[in-house]
Amino acid sequence: MADSNIRVLYLGPRRNIAHSGANTEQQSRAVTDIGGEFIRYEGESDGELIEALKDADVAINQGHGFKPEFFQHMGNNGRCKGLVSFGHGYDAMDLQSAVDNGVVLSNTASFGTEEVSNHTIMLLLVCSRKFVRHNNLTKSGTWTREHLPPMGHLSDQTLGIIGLGNIGRAVARKARAFGLHVIAYDPFVSSWDAKEYGVESVATPLELAQRSDYISPHTYLTDETRHMVGKEFIAAMKPTAYVINCSRGPVIDEQELIKALQEGRIAGAGLDVFEKEPVDPANPLLRMENVAVTNHYASYSEVAWERGNTQLGEEAVRIAIGQWPMSLINPDVRSTVPPRAWPKEWKVILAEAGKG
């Protein structure tokens, strides 16, 4: 049964990114439902934050920023046992420091799975149908069929996915509805599991590059995945192939991508993310008619945003009551902390606490 005396410290955004942090009803919902205390951090200095962490069981970080040295006052060294961050990625977090200090880290992975996978399919279709060029021609008053070929035909073509996590699997499921054959490179997913998703697993990224008509990475940004789609990978791609990126900008070596596009070695790209954000207005990618771009909003919808915000509180409660979070992002911490219970679905937690 959940402990109603839990205290959750909320670190709101320092600047308005996609939300102001003024209304925390969604973030605090789970904590309130379980009978816990939700505390908004109002301090300014590092020292004030360290003191605030001493009186909380878990912290939520939503755009505030969090220095690795704060972990020295958490986990095995203090009351605050974990930190929950908003979003899918965790490249801004020092996972090793958290492991060393026994701090459990979670994010809100899965909240935007439908939106990101839909956005990926949208960019794939935009590329396939040469939408950017014909949109520009029509709006400029040019009505012509002169630039139609080559035009994409999706059925029986191959989509190569890097990473078969939540989003990669959702993209595969939707791509198959268009008649695409889906292959994937993910060294951590077994071939029989990939088969259950209707996906053929491949042994190397280069094999994926060589066989795919469309390539879409859906992986976290780590030292291993940075520039995974780089010079050698791009050189192995078909001249008719497109690359779609709704994961993290640095997964693709942007300069190599630009050169390949300028030299006509690949057909085009659909990009929601860039190596440098906000994107430089002088970036050549913004002026190419075979490149579709959006401004890193693939995960957004009102429904998804509410889910992500409420998930923050749910994961915080799991950590506070001694469970693992559903979305544990530093699994090596299992070796540095006392045993925890497996995570339970939120409705089950409420029912067991008599709050259902």
The answer to whether 182 touches 163, Cβ cutoff 8 Å, is: no
What are the residues facing 145 on neighbouring strands? Answer: none
The answer to whether 311 touches 111, Cβ cutoff 8 Å, is: yes
Q: Annotated catalytic, 296?
A: yes
Catalytic annotation, pick one of 88, 181, 296, 340: 296
> Measured between alpha carbons, how far is 65 from 190 in angstroms, rounded to an integer?
36
Angle at 284 between CA 118 and CA 139, to 5 degrees: 65
> Measured between alpha carbons, how far is 219 from 299 in angstroms, rounded to an integer?
14
Q: Annotated catalytic, 248?
A: yes
Handedness of CA 332, 315, 107, 78 (dihedral sign): negative
Q: How many Cα atoms occupy the beta-carbon half-sphere of 331 within 13 Å?
A: 3
- Angle (deg, nearest 10), helices 25-33 and 302-320: 40
The answer to whether 269 touches 245, Cβ cutoff 8 Å, is: yes
* Nearest one of 168, 350, 193 to 251, comparing CA atoms: 168
Catalytic annotation, pick one of 48, 51, 277, 352: 277
Phi and psi dihedrals of 336, rounded to 5?
-120, 0
Specify the DSSP class assigned to residue 59.
E
The answer to whether 246 touches 217, Cβ cutoff 8 Å, is: no
In order of 71, 126, 158, 171, 180, the CA distances from 153 in angstroms are 52, 12, 11, 18, 10
The two tokens of residue 25 are 């009803």
> Measured between alpha carbons, how far is 302 from 304 in angstroms, rounded to an integer?
6
Catalytic annotation, pick one of 88, 248, 307, 318: 248
* Nearest one of 163, 166, 80, 65 to 115, comparing CA atoms: 166
Query: Omega before 150 cis (within 30°)?
Result: yes
Q: Which positions are annotated as active-site residues? A: 248, 277, 296
